[in-house]
A and B are shown apart, each in its own frame.
Chain A
């Protein structure tokens, strides 16, 4: 299953990339995908799929664009 993952802000340096298309080894939830790209599980994040926020337990589908971000607070 191919998905595009974009990391935001400091997660880029944690995950080691900014945006790339990944071939996943199997079905995954958003939270599992976050761990798969090496984002620390303890770090609070907000995950969006195709522009809409999703919970960590929601399943990712073929072709999704998933954005994982540090939780910003508007400066």
Chain B
């Protein structure tokens, strides 16, 4: 086997043991890496119904055959576990030197089992694994602990760490790296915290195995140059992802006031132009060709790294239109290790719930100072509000009652990203059928809907577009893993990625092979879901009720009176299921599973629930 190292490092925190395990070429070719590896490993090794925050849950860090090799945006790592937020498989990716360092240490994946009896961090150096005390970092934020690790282990070390939110098992705690990157939105940081694991530090000195190193080097260097040129030519990096904020405001897709509204006259105060004006530095991931992290001074003078999702959710979604104040909220989330999207959604939900009488409190939309206090309360699980909101919007809504779940802006428990889709049905579907809950990374089709379809259409072309993008964004790029931005934002050709993969592995794959592997990973995640929720229904793939509520429609502007329609959304969902080969519950049929070579996994899932 070439391209893969062929080894997984398995670490047990109960007894502080570790072992190096090999995997077969068949496993590698079937699951590729990243999300594929993680979803398969966790399906095989976790019993359904386990406590996601108990020692029986496992944390998987997964890479793939081009991870860490110099080529466009290959510095990505997938982190996964059973999610405490959603109750089934959850994952995320983040930029980190772990991508190259773990591969150089000789591993394509790391599995962390058990729970330490006191705070520890893992130090992995090639074939050596140490369980070191983390007392000096425990209770501290991610900036402190990252810096502490750099001082002790050097700045080239690959680092994954958590903040206080992870330690306190906040259900939307993330894992952080490089003092600016975050991943694992469905509470993967909380899983790490539940294991008393503050950080993972990795250094390797071996060669990453490649079938044709000379070709890989040539393709990689050409690719880095080309992707960078495309970015420079397009001007994308001027405003990075936050250029879309002004556009969302123009087309009534901005999340304002817990997604009650779709545009705001003060949106220009936090748009891409203002962000570019306020820029003091720019950051990216390893092997990045188009740095997306724009750093500004926040309200307290600290450096805060922003992009669209965190501005959208911590800004307009809570009616804060002061960029420095948004920067402060973002800084605190990053330091505490809170997911910025979920944090913004939870704050917006809380203000909404107070306004609608579902709970009592002194937080109002637009109160950035109180929001700062609340973020700490959440990260520390301090007080009643902090403890409840630390559970995420859906669980908080279930506690508050009074129909507040209708406006908890999530799907399957995972809060949705910064696009208000009550008049954008295709993107509402994309959130509804995202593999792990309301995530935007797998399919984003809003410009397709407006330019190449009709905004009001619920037709099969939108389901087809969602599937096409899921295969690329949630499949190809999550399996390799690599960042999708060069392709998705500046047009770096998709056909380059099989070339990289083939140079690394010696195989002869086409994009079509990746679509099969992507469909397999999606079906695998669906089987996770079915196993945990045997009574799964298609209603689980619906966005929140407030998007269907006429009383919540825009009262003026081009989308006045428009909301999603239940019957039409359901038919759009059926188009998606039909094209995917899923049954009426949204679960892959036996025929689909067989075509993907998932007979054994289907038999395992069938112990808990019926398959059609």
A interface list, Cβ under 8 A from B:
6, 8-14, 18, 43, 46, 48, 50-53, 67, 69-75
Contacts and interface: CB of A to CB of B under 8 A. Distances in A.
Interface residues of B, number: 34
Nearest to A74: B444
Contacts of B557: 51
Contact of A10 (B243, B440, B450): B243
Contacts of A71: 447, 451
Contacts of A18: 273
B272 A9 contact: yes
Nearest to A65: B250
Contacts of B446: 72, 74
Given A18-B273, A53-B451, A75-B309, 10 more contacts: A9-B244, A14-B235, A48-B250, A52-B455, A69-B250, A71-B447, A72-B243, A72-B244, A72-B247, A75-B241
A74 B419 contact: yes
Contacts of B359: none
A69 B450 CA distance: 12
B485 A50 contact: no
Interface string B226-263: 00000000111011010110110011100000000000
A70 B419 contact: no
Summarize B's interface: helix, strand, loop or mixed: helix
B251 A48 contact: yes
B247 A8 contact: yes
The 5 closest A-B pairs by CB, nearest first: A74-B444, A9-B243, A10-B235, A51-B558, A53-B450
Nearest to B430: A74
Contact of A51 (B244, B251, B444, B485): B251
Nearest to A6: B250
A46 B451 contact: yes
B426 to A, nearest CB: 12
Interface string B538-561: 000000000000000000011100
A9 B238 contact: yes
B281 interface: no
Nearest to A55: B451
Nearest to A12: B273
A67 B247 CA distance: 8
B478 interface: no
Contacts of B272: 8-9
Nearest to A9: B243
Contacts of B419: 74
B308 A51 contact: no
Given A8-B246, A75-B244, A13 B558 contact: no
A50 B560 CA distance: 13
Given A10-B243, A67-B247, A75 B485 contact: yes
B489 interface: yes
